[in-house]
Amino acid sequence: MTFANRILDFYASLEIEEKLPEGIEILNPYKKPEVMEACTTFYKKYYNDSKGRVMILGINPGRFGAGITGIPFTDPVCLEKECGIKNRFDKRAELSSDFVYRLVNKMGGPDHFFRHFYLGAVSPLGFVKNGKNYNYYDSRELTHTLKSFIIKSLIEQIGFGIVFKRVYVLGQGKNYDYLKMLNLDLKLFDELIPLPHPRWVMQYRRKQLDEILDETIKTLIT
């Protein structure tokens, strides 16, 4: 089975069986046929082989990126403009996707980048509260509820064909801290390397964007 087929089977079967805390809703785009169609096109284009990849993990999908397309850090604009995959999604740009595809293009473009790296998430499903994005770590109750789901999802993502001596973690704060804590018990990875989160860079360090991109590339290829 190819890397692509493993990913697609994984996304198609994602479910959270546990009852979430009141007011928090699951963001699961993979139940929509048009999302699975876009995912199939994307992963068959870039991952239709059995080659291993290095894992880069974000937090969880947001409403305007993977929450629409199903593809981590890939909004409808980048999916069409950068990956050449036409889609009927609302073409609203998302900051994290903008950062990631600047990085992708500085590292040789999508064909080259995705041949070596896999973009995933600690929680492959996202969350919404009061109409806004909500991260898996935003409440202790939610984090506790999702622990089994997160562990199962991480193990399955490693099983795609990950070169898992090290994992790069987008988010130097709570995302990195939580994954580091899990890894102390589970020993899923030999090494966790934190990277600045794309949205944080685009919102708060935009003037240092080129410098941060260069530093990120240096870390990824070291």
Q: DSSP characters for 136-169?
A: TTSSHHHHHHHHHHHHHHHHHHHTTTEEEEEEEE
Q: What is the pLDDT of residues 22-80, one digit of tens each?
A: 999 999 999 999 999 999 999 999 999 999 999 999 999 999 999 999 999 999 999 99
- Whole-model pTM: value is 0.95
HEC letters along 80-127:
HHCCCCCCCCCCCCCHHHHHHHHHHHHCCCHHHHHHHEEEEECCCCEE
Q: Give the domains, in start order, of the chain with CATH numbers.
A: 3-221 (3.40.470.10)
Instruction: Identify whether the C-beta of residue 40 lies closer than 8 Å to the C-beta of residue 83.
Output: no
Type of residue at 26: I
The reported pLDDT for the residue numbered 165 is 82
The reported pLDDT for the residue numbered 72 is 97
The reported pLDDT for the residue numbered 163 is 86
77 CB-contact burial (10 Å; exposed 0-12 / middle 13-18 / buried 19+): buried
Instruction: Identify whether the C-beta of residue 119 lies closer than 8 Å to the C-beta of residue 73.
Output: yes
The reported pLDDT for the residue numbered 147 is 97
Place of tokens 């199903």: 70
Please give the Cα distance from 91 to 177 (Å, whole number).
34
Residues of the chain with pLDDT under 70: none
The reported pLDDT for the residue numbered 5 is 97
